[in-house]
Amino acid sequence: MFEELKQIRETALAELESITEADALNELSTSVLGRGGKLTAILRTMGKLSAEERAELGKRANLVKQELTERLEARKAQLAELAEQKRIEREAIDVTLPGVRRAVGAGALNPLTLIYREIRDALVGLGFTTFEGPEVEYDEYNFTLLNLPPNHPARDMQDTFYVNDKVLLRTHTSPCEARALKTLDLPFRLVIPGRCFRVDEPDASHSPVFMQMEGLVVDKNVSLADLKGTIDSFVKAVFGENVESRLRPSYFPFTEPSAEVDISCTICGGKGCSSCKGTGWMEIMGCGITNPHEIENCGHSSDEWRAFAWGVGVDRVACLKYGISDIRLIYEGDGRFLSQFK
Protein backbone atom coordinates (compact mmCIF):
# COMPACT_ATOMS: atom_id res chain seq x y z
CA MET A 1 0.00 0.00 0.00
CA PHE A 2 2.84 2.37 0.74
CA GLU A 3 4.25 1.68 -2.71
CA GLU A 4 0.84 2.22 -4.27
CA LEU A 5 0.49 5.56 -2.41
CA LYS A 6 3.89 6.61 -3.77
CA GLN A 7 2.83 5.63 -7.29
CA ILE A 8 -0.42 7.63 -7.02
CA ARG A 9 1.55 10.74 -5.94
CA GLU A 10 4.14 10.50 -8.72
CA THR A 11 1.55 9.79 -11.40
CA ALA A 12 -0.66 12.69 -10.28
CA LEU A 13 2.26 15.15 -10.22
CA ALA A 14 3.36 14.07 -13.70
CA GLU A 15 -0.15 14.48 -15.12
CA LEU A 16 -0.48 17.82 -13.37
CA GLU A 17 2.47 19.31 -15.25
CA SER A 18 1.01 18.37 -18.62
CA ILE A 19 -2.51 19.71 -18.02
CA THR A 20 -3.40 22.88 -19.97
CA GLU A 21 -7.18 23.03 -19.52
CA ALA A 22 -9.27 23.71 -16.43
CA ASP A 23 -11.63 20.82 -17.19
CA ALA A 24 -8.75 18.32 -17.24
CA LEU A 25 -7.51 19.74 -13.94
CA ASN A 26 -10.92 19.16 -12.35
CA GLU A 27 -11.00 15.60 -13.65
CA LEU A 28 -7.57 14.86 -12.12
CA SER A 29 -8.64 16.32 -8.78
CA THR A 30 -11.77 14.17 -8.73
CA SER A 31 -9.97 10.97 -9.80
CA VAL A 32 -7.32 11.30 -7.08
CA LEU A 33 -8.85 13.29 -4.20
CA GLY A 34 -12.58 12.79 -4.75
CA ARG A 35 -14.84 10.55 -2.67
CA GLY A 36 -14.35 7.77 -5.22
CA GLY A 37 -10.72 8.67 -5.96
CA LYS A 38 -7.57 6.60 -5.76
CA LEU A 39 -6.38 8.13 -2.50
CA THR A 40 -9.71 7.52 -0.81
CA ALA A 41 -9.66 3.89 -2.04
CA ILE A 42 -6.34 3.24 -0.28
CA LEU A 43 -7.58 4.72 2.98
CA ARG A 44 -10.59 2.37 2.91
CA THR A 45 -8.26 -0.64 3.00
CA MET A 46 -6.47 0.49 6.14
CA GLY A 47 -8.54 -1.89 8.27
CA LYS A 48 -6.36 -4.80 7.08
CA LEU A 49 -3.22 -3.23 8.54
CA SER A 50 -1.80 -3.22 12.03
CA ALA A 51 -2.23 -0.19 14.28
CA GLU A 52 1.33 1.02 13.59
CA GLU A 53 0.91 0.59 9.84
CA ARG A 54 -2.46 2.36 9.85
CA ALA A 55 -0.95 5.35 11.67
CA GLU A 56 1.98 5.54 9.26
CA LEU A 57 -0.23 5.10 6.16
CA GLY A 58 -2.69 7.75 7.41
CA LYS A 59 0.16 10.18 8.03
CA ARG A 60 1.65 9.65 4.58
CA ALA A 61 -1.73 9.80 2.89
CA ASN A 62 -2.51 13.15 4.54
CA LEU A 63 0.85 14.54 3.43
CA VAL A 64 0.22 13.37 -0.13
CA LYS A 65 -3.30 14.85 -0.05
CA GLN A 66 -2.01 18.18 1.25
CA GLU A 67 0.77 18.31 -1.33
CA LEU A 68 -1.52 17.44 -4.24
CA THR A 69 -4.18 19.92 -3.08
CA GLU A 70 -1.62 22.75 -2.95
CA ARG A 71 -0.17 21.82 -6.35
CA LEU A 72 -3.64 21.60 -7.88
CA GLU A 73 -4.56 25.09 -6.57
CA ALA A 74 -1.26 26.51 -7.83
CA ARG A 75 -1.82 24.96 -11.28
CA LYS A 76 -5.39 26.26 -11.30
CA ALA A 77 -4.09 29.80 -10.66
CA GLN A 78 -1.53 29.40 -13.45
CA LEU A 79 -4.18 28.26 -15.93
CA ALA A 80 -6.43 31.19 -14.97
CA GLU A 81 -3.58 33.62 -15.56
CA LEU A 82 -2.77 32.03 -18.92
CA ALA A 83 -6.44 32.21 -19.94
CA GLU A 84 -6.54 35.91 -19.03
CA GLN A 85 -3.40 36.58 -21.07
CA LYS A 86 -4.89 34.80 -24.08
CA ARG A 87 -8.11 36.80 -23.73
CA ILE A 88 -6.15 40.06 -23.64
CA GLU A 89 -4.13 39.03 -26.70
CA ARG A 90 -7.29 37.96 -28.52
CA GLU A 91 -9.08 41.26 -27.79
CA ALA A 92 -6.07 43.49 -28.38
CA ILE A 93 -6.45 46.16 -31.05
CA ASP A 94 -3.58 47.40 -33.16
CA VAL A 95 -4.28 51.12 -33.35
CA THR A 96 -1.67 51.51 -36.11
CA LEU A 97 -3.74 49.46 -38.58
CA PRO A 98 -5.73 51.40 -41.21
CA GLY A 99 -9.43 51.88 -40.48
CA VAL A 100 -12.11 49.62 -41.90
CA ARG A 101 -14.85 51.28 -43.93
CA ARG A 102 -18.23 50.85 -42.27
CA ALA A 103 -20.78 48.78 -44.15
CA VAL A 104 -23.55 51.24 -43.27
CA GLY A 105 -23.64 54.89 -44.24
CA ALA A 106 -22.07 57.62 -42.14
CA GLY A 107 -24.16 59.30 -39.48
CA ALA A 108 -25.88 62.64 -39.86
CA LEU A 109 -26.36 65.65 -37.62
CA ASN A 110 -29.75 66.12 -35.99
CA PRO A 111 -31.74 68.96 -37.58
CA LEU A 112 -31.73 70.69 -34.18
CA THR A 113 -27.94 70.82 -34.33
CA LEU A 114 -27.98 72.13 -37.89
CA ILE A 115 -30.45 74.91 -37.07
CA TYR A 116 -28.69 75.77 -33.80
CA ARG A 117 -25.41 76.24 -35.66
CA GLU A 118 -27.04 78.36 -38.35
CA ILE A 119 -28.68 80.68 -35.80
CA ARG A 120 -25.54 80.82 -33.66
CA ASP A 121 -23.27 81.61 -36.60
CA ALA A 122 -25.63 84.30 -37.89
CA LEU A 123 -25.69 86.04 -34.50
CA VAL A 124 -21.97 85.59 -33.81
CA GLY A 125 -21.44 87.38 -37.12
CA LEU A 126 -23.39 90.30 -35.64
CA GLY A 127 -21.11 90.45 -32.59
CA PHE A 128 -22.99 88.13 -30.23
CA THR A 129 -21.34 85.82 -27.68
CA THR A 130 -22.72 82.46 -26.49
CA PHE A 131 -23.92 82.32 -22.87
CA GLU A 132 -25.40 79.30 -21.07
CA GLY A 133 -27.08 78.56 -17.74
CA PRO A 134 -28.39 75.57 -15.72
CA GLU A 135 -31.41 73.51 -16.77
CA VAL A 136 -32.40 72.95 -13.13
CA GLU A 137 -33.13 76.52 -12.08
CA TYR A 138 -34.21 78.58 -9.10
CA ASP A 139 -37.75 79.95 -9.08
CA GLU A 140 -36.24 83.39 -8.47
CA TYR A 141 -34.36 83.40 -11.77
CA ASN A 142 -37.02 81.63 -13.82
CA PHE A 143 -39.85 83.91 -12.67
CA THR A 144 -39.35 86.59 -10.00
CA LEU A 145 -36.40 88.48 -11.49
CA LEU A 146 -38.12 88.42 -14.90
CA ASN A 147 -41.10 90.42 -13.58
CA LEU A 148 -43.28 87.37 -12.88
CA PRO A 149 -44.31 87.74 -9.21
CA PRO A 150 -45.47 84.77 -7.08
CA ASN A 151 -49.12 84.88 -8.17
CA HIS A 152 -48.50 85.40 -11.87
CA PRO A 153 -50.42 82.95 -14.16
CA ALA A 154 -47.17 81.83 -15.82
CA ARG A 155 -46.29 80.09 -12.54
CA ASP A 156 -49.18 77.65 -12.98
CA MET A 157 -47.97 74.25 -11.74
CA GLN A 158 -49.81 72.62 -14.63
CA ASP A 159 -47.23 74.18 -16.96
CA THR A 160 -44.04 73.84 -14.89
CA PHE A 161 -42.02 70.91 -13.58
CA TYR A 162 -41.29 71.81 -9.95
CA VAL A 163 -38.57 70.04 -7.94
CA ASN A 164 -39.67 71.85 -4.78
CA ASP A 165 -41.02 75.29 -3.85
CA LYS A 166 -37.79 77.01 -4.85
CA VAL A 167 -36.36 74.78 -7.61
CA LEU A 168 -37.77 73.79 -11.00
CA LEU A 169 -36.85 72.74 -14.52
CA ARG A 170 -36.56 75.98 -16.47
CA THR A 171 -39.53 76.73 -18.70
CA HIS A 172 -37.51 79.01 -21.02
CA THR A 173 -33.94 80.23 -21.50
CA SER A 174 -34.85 83.65 -20.06
CA PRO A 175 -33.38 82.89 -16.58
CA CYS A 176 -30.02 83.27 -18.30
CA GLU A 177 -30.94 86.92 -18.93
CA ALA A 178 -31.09 87.51 -15.18
CA ARG A 179 -27.88 85.56 -14.61
CA ALA A 180 -26.08 87.57 -17.30
CA LEU A 181 -27.36 90.90 -15.95
CA LYS A 182 -26.14 89.94 -12.47
CA THR A 183 -22.71 88.58 -13.45
CA LEU A 184 -21.47 90.20 -16.68
CA ASP A 185 -20.17 93.68 -17.32
CA LEU A 186 -22.51 95.83 -19.37
CA PRO A 187 -22.97 96.35 -22.31
CA PHE A 188 -23.14 92.97 -24.05
CA ARG A 189 -24.80 90.96 -26.83
CA LEU A 190 -25.63 87.35 -26.00
CA VAL A 191 -27.06 84.33 -27.77
CA ILE A 192 -28.41 81.87 -25.20
CA PRO A 193 -29.15 78.27 -26.31
CA GLY A 194 -30.51 75.43 -24.19
CA ARG A 195 -33.14 72.81 -23.44
CA CYS A 196 -36.36 73.85 -21.73
CA PHE A 197 -39.13 71.86 -20.08
CA ARG A 198 -42.90 72.28 -19.84
CA VAL A 199 -45.77 69.99 -18.89
CA ASP A 200 -47.03 69.20 -22.40
CA GLU A 201 -48.51 66.01 -23.78
CA PRO A 202 -46.32 64.90 -26.72
CA ASP A 203 -48.00 65.27 -30.10
CA ALA A 204 -47.08 66.40 -33.59
CA SER A 205 -46.43 70.00 -32.47
CA HIS A 206 -45.70 69.72 -28.72
CA SER A 207 -42.98 68.16 -26.60
CA PRO A 208 -42.28 68.33 -22.84
CA VAL A 209 -38.62 68.90 -23.77
CA PHE A 210 -37.70 71.44 -26.42
CA MET A 211 -34.75 73.59 -27.44
CA GLN A 212 -34.85 77.35 -27.36
CA MET A 213 -32.40 80.06 -28.37
CA GLU A 214 -32.59 83.51 -26.93
CA GLY A 215 -30.96 86.75 -27.97
CA LEU A 216 -30.25 89.53 -25.47
CA VAL A 217 -28.70 92.94 -26.15
CA VAL A 218 -28.00 95.39 -23.34
CA ASP A 219 -26.74 98.90 -24.07
CA LYS A 220 -27.52 102.51 -23.30
CA ASN A 221 -29.36 103.53 -26.45
CA VAL A 222 -30.94 100.41 -27.99
CA SER A 223 -34.39 100.74 -29.53
CA LEU A 224 -37.18 98.78 -31.16
CA ALA A 225 -35.61 99.63 -34.52
CA ASP A 226 -32.40 97.87 -33.45
CA LEU A 227 -34.47 94.83 -32.44
CA LYS A 228 -36.29 94.77 -35.80
CA GLY A 229 -33.05 95.08 -37.78
CA THR A 230 -31.33 92.32 -35.79
CA ILE A 231 -34.26 89.93 -36.19
CA ASP A 232 -34.54 90.65 -39.91
CA SER A 233 -30.81 89.90 -40.39
CA PHE A 234 -31.06 86.63 -38.49
CA VAL A 235 -34.23 85.54 -40.35
CA LYS A 236 -32.60 86.09 -43.72
CA ALA A 237 -29.45 84.28 -42.63
CA VAL A 238 -31.43 81.21 -41.53
CA PHE A 239 -34.33 81.09 -44.02
CA GLY A 240 -32.90 82.91 -47.04
CA GLU A 241 -32.74 86.42 -48.46
CA ASN A 242 -36.24 86.20 -49.94
CA VAL A 243 -37.95 85.62 -46.59
CA GLU A 244 -39.43 88.73 -44.95
CA SER A 245 -40.16 89.34 -41.28
CA ARG A 246 -42.67 91.51 -39.43
CA LEU A 247 -43.57 92.35 -35.84
CA ARG A 248 -47.11 92.13 -34.40
CA PRO A 249 -48.05 93.66 -31.01
CA SER A 250 -48.24 91.09 -28.22
CA TYR A 251 -47.69 90.75 -24.47
CA PHE A 252 -44.94 89.16 -22.38
CA PRO A 253 -44.32 89.98 -18.70
CA PHE A 254 -40.59 90.51 -19.23
CA THR A 255 -40.79 92.86 -22.25
CA GLU A 256 -42.57 96.18 -22.86
CA PRO A 257 -43.45 96.75 -25.64
CA SER A 258 -43.74 93.12 -26.77
CA ALA A 259 -44.24 91.60 -30.21
CA GLU A 260 -44.66 88.35 -32.09
CA VAL A 261 -42.34 87.76 -35.04
CA ASP A 262 -43.84 86.46 -38.28
CA ILE A 263 -41.95 85.40 -41.39
CA SER A 264 -43.31 85.13 -44.89
CA CYS A 265 -44.41 81.54 -45.46
CA THR A 266 -41.46 79.41 -46.53
CA ILE A 267 -43.77 76.98 -48.34
CA CYS A 268 -45.86 79.28 -50.54
CA GLY A 269 -43.55 82.29 -50.54
CA GLY A 270 -46.22 84.53 -48.97
CA LYS A 271 -48.97 83.79 -51.48
CA GLY A 272 -51.15 81.89 -49.01
CA CYS A 273 -51.49 78.14 -48.45
CA SER A 274 -52.85 75.62 -45.95
CA SER A 275 -49.65 75.74 -43.90
CA CYS A 276 -49.97 79.47 -43.26
CA LYS A 277 -53.79 79.30 -43.25
CA GLY A 278 -53.96 81.52 -46.29
CA THR A 279 -52.33 84.53 -44.60
CA GLY A 280 -48.90 84.23 -46.21
CA TRP A 281 -47.25 84.58 -42.78
CA MET A 282 -46.04 82.14 -40.12
CA GLU A 283 -45.36 83.00 -36.46
CA ILE A 284 -41.94 81.82 -35.21
CA MET A 285 -41.11 83.64 -31.95
CA GLY A 286 -41.70 86.43 -29.46
CA CYS A 287 -39.59 89.50 -28.74
CA GLY A 288 -39.62 92.94 -27.18
CA ILE A 289 -37.86 95.69 -25.27
CA THR A 290 -36.81 94.29 -21.88
CA ASN A 291 -39.14 95.41 -19.09
CA PRO A 292 -37.47 98.07 -16.87
CA HIS A 293 -38.50 96.04 -13.79
CA GLU A 294 -36.25 93.17 -14.94
CA ILE A 295 -33.28 95.50 -15.30
CA GLU A 296 -33.98 97.01 -11.86
CA ASN A 297 -34.45 93.54 -10.28
CA CYS A 298 -30.97 92.57 -11.46
CA GLY A 299 -29.28 95.58 -9.88
CA HIS A 300 -29.03 98.09 -12.75
CA SER A 301 -30.62 101.46 -13.46
CA SER A 302 -33.33 101.30 -16.13
CA ASP A 303 -32.75 105.01 -16.74
CA GLU A 304 -29.17 104.29 -17.81
CA TRP A 305 -29.49 100.86 -19.45
CA ARG A 306 -31.96 99.45 -21.96
CA ALA A 307 -32.21 96.03 -23.52
CA PHE A 308 -34.09 93.97 -26.06
CA ALA A 309 -34.56 90.21 -26.28
CA TRP A 310 -36.24 87.46 -28.24
CA GLY A 311 -36.69 83.72 -27.87
CA VAL A 312 -37.08 81.25 -30.72
CA GLY A 313 -37.94 77.55 -30.58
CA VAL A 314 -35.19 75.73 -32.47
CA ASP A 315 -37.56 72.79 -32.93
CA ARG A 316 -40.14 75.00 -34.63
CA VAL A 317 -37.56 76.58 -36.93
CA ALA A 318 -36.28 73.11 -37.88
CA CYS A 319 -39.82 71.93 -38.68
CA LEU A 320 -40.47 75.03 -40.82
CA LYS A 321 -37.20 74.95 -42.70
CA TYR A 322 -37.07 71.21 -43.39
CA GLY A 323 -40.80 70.54 -43.72
CA ILE A 324 -40.90 68.19 -40.70
CA SER A 325 -44.55 67.38 -39.95
CA ASP A 326 -44.07 65.82 -36.49
CA ILE A 327 -41.78 67.33 -33.84
CA ARG A 328 -41.37 63.91 -32.20
CA LEU A 329 -39.26 62.74 -35.14
CA ILE A 330 -36.53 65.15 -34.04
CA TYR A 331 -36.11 63.44 -30.67
CA GLU A 332 -36.60 59.75 -31.53
CA GLY A 333 -33.14 59.21 -33.04
CA ASP A 334 -34.44 57.16 -35.96
CA GLY A 335 -31.55 56.64 -38.38
CA ARG A 336 -33.89 56.63 -41.37
CA PHE A 337 -35.08 60.12 -40.44
CA LEU A 338 -31.65 61.52 -39.57
CA SER A 339 -30.04 60.17 -42.75
CA GLN A 340 -32.04 62.75 -44.72
CA PHE A 341 -29.97 65.57 -43.23
CA LYS A 342 -26.51 64.51 -44.42
Mean pLDDT within 243-257: 90
Query: So what's the pLDDT on residue 196?
Result: 93
> What does pTM read for this prediction?
0.65
Q: Residue 104 above 60 pLDDT? A: no
Question: Which range among 67-71, 215-219, 311-315 shows the weakest confidence by mean pLDDT?
Answer: 67-71
Q: Are residues 139 and 181 in the same domain?
A: yes
Letter string b/e over residues 43-73, b meaning 16 or more CB atoms within 10 A of that residue's CB: beeeeeeeeeeeeebeebbeebbeebeeebe
Which of 28, 62, 91 is the last residue in one of the domains? 91
Q: Are residues 28 and 154 in the same domain?
A: no
Would 103 be classed as within a structural domain?
Answer: no
At 157-177, the pLDDT tens digits run 558 899 998 999 999 999 999
Q: Are residues 236 and 328 in the same domain?
A: yes
Query: So what's the pLDDT on residue 158?
Result: 59
Neighbours of 154 (CB within 10 A): 16
Q: Are residues 200 and 57 in the same domain?
A: no
Q: Are residues 84 and 159 in the same domain?
A: no
Q: Are residues 189 and 46 in the same domain?
A: no
**∠ Cα 269 243 219 (to 5°):** 155
- What's the CA gap between 120 and 132, in Å, rounded? 13
Q: Are residues 223 and 156 in the same domain?
A: yes
Q: Are residues 63 and 130 in the same domain?
A: no
Sheet holding 245-252, edge to edge: 129-130, 188-197, 209-219, 306-313, 281-290, 255-264, 245-252
- The alpha carbon of residue 317 and the mean position of all alpha carbons in its chain are separated, in whole angstroms, by 23
Q: Are residues 320 and 201 in the same domain?
A: yes
- Which residues constitute the domain of residue 80? 2-91
pLDDT above 90: percentage of residues in the chain: 37
What is the CATH classification number for the domain harbouring 247?
3.30.930.10
Q: Are residues 315 and 209 in the same domain?
A: yes
Would 190 be classed as within a structural domain?
Answer: yes
- What's the CA gap between 243 and 264, in Å, rounded? 6
Query: So what's the pLDDT on residue 130?
Result: 94
Would 100 be classed as within a structural domain?
Answer: no
Would 98 be classed as within a structural domain?
Answer: no
Would 176 be classed as within a structural domain?
Answer: yes
At 289-310, the pLDDT tens digits run 999 999 999 999 999 999 999 9
Would 102 be classed as within a structural domain?
Answer: no
Would 236 be classed as within a structural domain?
Answer: yes
Q: Are residues 55 and 150 in the same domain?
A: no
- What's the CA gap between 1 and 34, in Å, rounded? 19
Question: How many structural domains is the chain composed of?
Answer: 2
At 260-290, the pLDDT tens digits run 999 988 777 778 877 778 888 988 899 999 9
Query: So what's the pLDDT on residue 70?
Result: 83
Q: Are residues 208 and 74 in the same domain?
A: no
Would 99 be classed as within a structural domain?
Answer: no
